[in-house]
């Protein structure tokens, strides 16, 4: 008899089921009320019925305690309590008699509870804003769902410092995903990838990037504006701002599972449909503009999974794909990345397998962070051969004479017209020798190896000798090609570089006694020729050299030696002996521009304009007038030297290439002192001549304003970073304050303004917006019109 009782209860429940289905309470929820998880959609509604609070069945036997838009077919979820631990049917949520809101699973275990500010909760309510609140007798909200958002914010909702929105794992998997949007405690508003499965921040890919972050709250107001405000209420940055009629539209801003923060609108049921919007949710705007290009984390896979690449489709969404020869690890979760469909190349020297592989060309594709070897001044054919003959190489990137070798897992893959160059994907062409399972071992089975080894031993020796011969022919040819490519700079028909012995230079510098300075590349010593009537020289000892081949060093030194321009410090010789790598330059008796400009006797306005012209012409020469372009990478006043007649000359050019670039790159956070270094440098993007244009822009500002770009001894905080301050002054039509109390400049305001506009063009954060040096020279000289420059940071702006 005992057994029949439960069945009886079940029967009763089934009978009341239709009634429960429509048991949607609206208005205040009193103490003691509860809901249980079953497939009947019972919920607590807001007075208008726009929002519902209750259980949503999201998988077979998994329920989410959630808030959703209740009147639209999508029933879009905007908040949930237990995204990482779904509860089974029969679980309950109860507002206890003591005023606690508790989610218990079927077995009575507590899964989640609302931590309210204090005791004294007398009722709960689902509000028409989408906020679920626990309130006291006096209608004070002691707990709000708005304070603990999941992935969405709604109009009237505020994000305080420390609040983060975490994306869903997939569109319909509500677990914590791979991206987040947060207002940090330090006032920065940032989009981050997370170190999945944790939610800790990994790589920032968008931020409000103000140099003095002071964000206090993110506000979403009822008419569709989302903006960052300071503690005093001033609007600091618009985030996503679109006027929306709150009467006719529902709206929300969600960080979607693909990492994009989107603002959506949906026509309300019954609203006049005289609008242009199609049914369903419509995207008003989103950030960042192109997520594929934005993520540059030193760790993590990027916007898509490892070995896959990201591209923006016509629908403006990022799409993740696998290169040819690769396929998704999980087609239902493409961000888990791609795997090779073939067995990797054998590293066994006796069977190099080079004939079994070929390349699939993918233009405009790159995995910018996965290279392990780099070769400058190479040809595409050389690049292909180099990767083919290297069992570690899975992909090679070839772009503008540069060749990068990459190995798996490839990260931050992207395909975009701005990338340029091409990716060469190495794939196995013959699969006849494949073992049955495609996931076979990389190395052949030991026993077969020994067997084939002994059979082929005699043959393999012959083969080795043969291949060595082929290789030496190939390498000597490629070397020749390389040298042929480098043609002398136009104005330097003869090269007159001296080769010194280490002993000679040691003697010339008195055993490296008098130090003139030291920089990123090494230390400079004063010296004198022991012959040639003791002419003074500067000897630079390179200490952070990469151990590249001798040939590499000679090639680069020759390139530097072939330059000849009155605004470049002349290289007169070098030493390349064993471990020792030294460069010998003409001596500059008046030291660096930094001492001159920021010292006691500031050069007058006229001289400063002459210095600006000179540096610009020197850079133009390096970028465009040598047939092999030289990018300086470190333009700053310390690297501009002055000779005895105060002619400025650029020093240290050509050295960036000698130094392994990664050693000097620091991947600090997005925010930081704005120095001379263009933002793309920190993002490990391909370095172009535009990096020098940026540095020149900062230097030009310093020349105009007679102060350092970063200066803490200023009157107001807003003046600390010159780049920001100068633009603010320019924008407000107050350029004259930058040269205040300098009569000569004030009388020449037209030129001051022209120089300022050129500088602002040069410091555009988007490299493609910066003019080439040729244009810079023309604009400085007044030969061409200078258009009105945009805000240097504008491409970081709201709709990006």
256 is catalytic: no
> Among 24, 89, 94, 221, which residue interacts with ligand NAG (rule: CB under 6 A)?
221
Kindly tell me which of 63 and 653 has the beta carbon lying closer to ligand NAG.
63
CB of 268 vs ligand NAG, minimal distance in Å:
17
Binding segment toward ligand NAG, per CB under 6 A, in 343-351, 427-435, 522-530, 613-621: 427-435
CB of 227 vs ligand NAG, minimal distance in Å:
6
Instruction: Copy the structure tokens of residue 196.
Output: 């999945």
Q: Are 774 and 620 in contact (CB under 8 A)?
A: yes
Instruction: For tokens 């289905």, name the residue.
Output: 21
> Among 25, 89, 201, 222, which residue interacts with ligand NAG (rule: CB under 6 A)?
222
E strand segments, 242-369: 249-255, 261-267, 282-287, 309-312, 318-321, 326-328, 338-340, 357-363, 365-366
> Among 432, 447, 645, 768, which residue interacts with ligand NAG (rule: CB under 6 A)?
432
| Cα 716 from Cα 695, distance rounded (Å) | 24
- Does 85 help bind ligand NAG (rule: CB under 6 A)? no
> Among 34, 61, 75, 119, which residue interacts with ligand NAG (rule: CB under 6 A)?
75
Q: Which residues pair with 249 in a beta bridge?
A: 267
Kindly tell me which of 69 and 621 has the beta carbon lying closer to ligand NAG.
69
- Residue 98 counted as an annotated binding residue: no
Binding segment toward ligand NAG, per CB under 6 A, in 218-226, 378-386, 633-641, 737-745: 218-226
Binding segment toward ligand NAG, per CB under 6 A, in 226-234, 289-297, 527-535, 744-752: 226-234
Residue 324 burial (CB count, 10 A): 13
Instruction: For tokens 């049955």, name the residue.
Output: 436
Binding segment toward ligand NAG, per CB under 6 A, in 215-223, 291-299, 590-598, 752-760: 215-223
> Among 230, 329, 449, 737, which residue interacts with ligand NAG (rule: CB under 6 A)?
230
Instruction: For tokens 């940032």, name the residue.
Output: 190
- Of 589, 567, 612, the C-alpha closest to 706 is 612
Kindly tell me which of 112 and 123 has the beta carbon lying closer to ligand NAG.
123
Kindly tell me which of 63 and 574 has the beta carbon lying closer to ligand NAG.
63
Kindly tell me which of 40 and 702 has the beta carbon lying closer to ligand NAG.
40
Q: Is 1 exposed, middle or buried (0-12, 13-18, 19+ CB in 10 A)?
A: exposed
E strand segments, 351-439: 357-363, 365-366, 371-375, 395-399, 402-406, 413-415, 422-428
Phi first, then psi, for residue 727 (nearest 5°) are -65, -40
Which residues have a Cβ under 8 Å from the Cβ of 338 and sit 6 or more positions away? 305, 306, 307, 308, 322, 323, 326, 327, 328, 329
Which residues have a Cβ under 8 Å from the Cβ of 99 and sit 6 or more positions away? 31, 116, 119, 120, 121, 122, 134
CB of 142 vs ligand NAG, minimal distance in Å:
13
> Among 12, 59, 457, 470, which residue interacts with ligand NAG (rule: CB under 6 A)?
59
- Does 521 help bind ligand NAG (rule: CB under 6 A)? no
Q: Give the distance, in angstroms, between the CA of residue 397 and the centroid of all CA atoms in the same chain.
A: 19
- Residue 625 has what DSSP assignment? I
Residue 156 burial (CB count, 10 A): 16
Kindly tell me which of 223 and 464 has the beta carbon lying closer to ligand NAG.
223
Distance from the first to the final alpha carbon of the chain: 71
CB of 415 vs ligand NAG, minimal distance in Å:
24
Kindly tell me which of 43 and 567 has the beta carbon lying closer to ligand NAG.
43
**Number of chain positions touching ligand NAG (CB under 6 A):** 29
| Cα 441 from Cα 79, distance rounded (Å) | 47
CA torsion through residues 49, 50, 51, 55, sign:
positive
Q: Give the distance, in angstroms, between the CA of residue 422 and the centroid of all CA atoms in the same chain.
A: 20
Half-sphere exposure of residue 714: CA atoms within 13 angstroms, side-chain side: 17
CB of 770 vs ligand NAG, minimal distance in Å:
28
3-state helix, strand, coil in the chain (%, to 5): 25, 30, 45
> Among 175, 346, 350, 402, which residue interacts with ligand NAG (rule: CB under 6 A)?
175
> Among 85, 110, 119, 223, which residue interacts with ligand NAG (rule: CB under 6 A)?
223
Instruction: For tokens 């704005």, name the residue.
Output: 674
Q: Are 154 and 263 in contact (CB under 8 A)?
A: no
Binding segment toward ligand NAG, per CB under 6 A, in 219-227, 412-420, 633-641, 749-757: 219-227
| Cα 290 from Cα 95, distance rounded (Å) | 45
> Among 13, 21, 462, 466, which residue interacts with ligand NAG (rule: CB under 6 A)?
21
CB of 421 vs ligand NAG, minimal distance in Å:
29
Kindly tell me which of 21 and 455 has the beta carbon lying closer to ligand NAG.
21
User: Which candidate in 256, 371, 390, 634 is catalytic?
Assistant: 634
Residue 149 burial (CB count, 10 A): 21
- Does 234 help bind ligand NAG (rule: CB under 6 A)? yes
| Cα 255 from Cα 178, distance rounded (Å) | 10
Interacting positions 95-134 with ligand NAG (CB under 6 A): 122-123
Q: Is 459 exposed, middle or buried (0-12, 13-18, 19+ CB in 10 A)?
A: exposed
Interacting positions 22-51 with ligand NAG (CB under 6 A): 27-28, 39-41, 47
- Does 431 help bind ligand NAG (rule: CB under 6 A)? yes
Kindly tell me which of 431 and 499 has the beta carbon lying closer to ligand NAG.
431
CB of 20 vs ligand NAG, minimal distance in Å:
9
- Does 435 help bind ligand NAG (rule: CB under 6 A)? no
- Does 156 help bind ligand NAG (rule: CB under 6 A)? no
Instruction: For tokens 């310093």, name the residue.
Output: 702
CB of 335 vs ligand NAG, minimal distance in Å:
10
Instruction: Copy the structure tokens of residue 689.
Output: 């001549």
Q: Evaluate the omega torsion of the peptide bond into residue 542 and state whether it is cis, within 30 degrees of 0.
A: no
- Does 430 help bind ligand NAG (rule: CB under 6 A)? yes
CB of 334 vs ligand NAG, minimal distance in Å:
13
Q: Give the DSSP H or E segment for 464.
A: helix 446-485
Kindly tell me which of 222 and 667 has the beta carbon lying closer to ligand NAG.
222
Instruction: Copy the structure tokens of residue 661.
Output: 């670039």
> Among 225, 249, 257, 286, which residue interacts with ligand NAG (rule: CB under 6 A)?
225
Kindly tell me which of 21 and 473 has the beta carbon lying closer to ligand NAG.
21
> Among 97, 137, 272, 768, which residue interacts with ligand NAG (rule: CB under 6 A)?
137
> Among 24, 129, 161, 173, which residue interacts with ligand NAG (rule: CB under 6 A)?
173
Binding segment toward ligand NAG, per CB under 6 A, in 224-232, 321-329, 548-556, 708-716: 224-232
Annotated binding site: 540
Task: Indicate which residues carry an active-site annotation.
Answer: 634
Which residues sit in the known binding site for ATP? 540
Give the footprint of ligand NAG on this chain (CB under 6 A).
21, 27-28, 39-41, 47, 59, 62, 75, 86, 122-123, 137, 139, 169, 173, 175, 214, 221-223, 225, 230, 232, 234, 430-432
């Amino acid at each position: 008899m005992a057994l029949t009782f439960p069945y009886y209860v079940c029967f009763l429940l089934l009978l009341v089921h239709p009634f429960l289905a429509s048991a949607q309470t609206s208005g205040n929820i009193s103490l003691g009320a509860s809901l249980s998880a079953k497939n009947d959609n019972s919920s607590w509604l807001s007075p208008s019925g726009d929002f519902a609070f209750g259980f949503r069945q999201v998988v077979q036997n998994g329920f989410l305690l959630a808030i959703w838009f209740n009147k639209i077919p999508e029933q879009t979820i905007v908040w949930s309590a237990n995204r990482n631990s779904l509860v089974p049917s029969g679980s309950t949520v109860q507002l206890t008699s003591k005023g606690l809101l508790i989610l218990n699973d079927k077995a009575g275990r507590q899964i989640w509870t609302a931590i309210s500010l204090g005791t004294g909760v007398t009722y709960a309510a689902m509000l028409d804003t989408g906020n679920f609140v626990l309130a006291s007798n006096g209608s004070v909200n002691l707990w709000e769902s708005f304070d603990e958002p999941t992935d969405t914010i709604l109009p009237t909702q505020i994000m305080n410092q420390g609040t983060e929105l975490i994306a869903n794992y997939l569109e319909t998997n509500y677990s914590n995903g791979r991206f987040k949007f947060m207002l940090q405690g330090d006032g920065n508003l940032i989009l981050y990838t997370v170190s999945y499965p944790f939610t800790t921040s990994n790589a920032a890919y968008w931020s409000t990037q103000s140099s003095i972050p002071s964000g206090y709250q993110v506000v979403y107001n009822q008419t569709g504006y989302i903006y960052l405000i300071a503690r005093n209420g001033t609007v600091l940055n618009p985030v996503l701002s679109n006027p929306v009629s709150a009467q006719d539209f529902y709206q929300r801003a969600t960080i979607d599972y693909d990492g994009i923060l989107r603002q959506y609108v949906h026509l309300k049921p019954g609203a006049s449909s005289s609008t242009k919007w199609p049914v369903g949710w419509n995207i008003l705007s989103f950030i960042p503009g192109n997520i594929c290009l934005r993520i540059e984390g030193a760790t993590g896979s990027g916007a898509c999974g490892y070995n896959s690449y990201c591209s923006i489709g016509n629908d403006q969404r990022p799409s993740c794909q696998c290169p040819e020869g690769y396929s998704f690890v999980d087609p239902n979760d493409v961000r888990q990345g791609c795997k090779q469909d073939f067995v990797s190349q054998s590293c066994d020297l006796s069977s190099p397998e080079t004939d079994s592989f070929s390349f699939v060309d993918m233009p405009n594709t790159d995995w910018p962070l996965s290279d392990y070897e780099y070769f400058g001044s190479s040809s595409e054919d050389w690049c292909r051969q180099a990767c083919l003959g290297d069992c570690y190489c899975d992909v090679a990137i070839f772009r503008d004479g540069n060749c990068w070798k990459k190995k798996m897992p490839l990260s931050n893959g992207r395909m975009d017209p701005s990338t340029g160059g091409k990716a060469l994907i190495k794939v196995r062409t013959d699969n006849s020798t494949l073992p049955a399972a495609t996931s076979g071992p990389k190395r052949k089975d030991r026993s077969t190896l020994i067997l084939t080894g002994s059979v082929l031993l005699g043959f393999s020796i012959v083969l080795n000798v043969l291949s060595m011969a082929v290789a030496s022919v190939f390498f000597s040819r490629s070397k020749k090609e390389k040298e042929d490519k480098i043609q002398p700079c136009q104005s330097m028909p003869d090269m007159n570089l001296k080769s010194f012995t280490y002993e000679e230079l040691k003697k010339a510098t008195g055993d490296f006694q008098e130090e003139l300075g030291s920089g990123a590349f090494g230390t400079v010593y004063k010296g004198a020729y022991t012959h040639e009537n003791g002419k003074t020289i500067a000897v630079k000892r390179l200490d952070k050299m990469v151990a590249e081949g001798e040939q590499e060093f000679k090639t680069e030194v020759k390139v530097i030696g072939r330059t000849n321009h009155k605004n470049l410090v002349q290289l007169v010789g070098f030493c390349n002996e064993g471990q020792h790598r030294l460069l010998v330059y003409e001596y500059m008796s008046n030291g660096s521009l930094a001492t001159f400009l920021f010292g006691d006797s500031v050069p007058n306005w006229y001289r400063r304009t002459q210095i600006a012209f000179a540096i610009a012409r020197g850079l133009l020469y390096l970028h465009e007038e040598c047939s092999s372009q030289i990018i300086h990478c470190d333009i700053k006043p310390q690297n501009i030297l002055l000779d005895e007649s105060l002619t400025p000359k650029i020093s240290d050019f050509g050295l960036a290439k000698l130094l392994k670039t990664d050693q000097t790159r620091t991947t600090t956070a997005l925010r930081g002192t704005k120095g001379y270094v263009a933002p793309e440098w920190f993002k490990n993007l391909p370095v172009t001549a535009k990096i020098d244009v940026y540095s020149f822009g900062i230097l030009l500002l310093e020349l105009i304003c007679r102060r350092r770009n970063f200066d803490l001894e200023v009157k107001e905080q807003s003046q600390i970073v010159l780049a920001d301050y100068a633009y603010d002054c320019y924008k407000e039509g107050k350029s004259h304050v930058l040269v205040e109390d300098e009569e000569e400049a004030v009388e020449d305001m037209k030129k001051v303004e022209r120089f300022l506009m050129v500088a602002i063009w040069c410091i555009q954060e988007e490299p493609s917006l910066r003019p080439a040096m040729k244009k810079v020279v023309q604009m400085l000289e007044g030969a061409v019109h200078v258009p009105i420059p945009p805000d240097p940071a504008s491409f970081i702006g709201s709709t990006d």
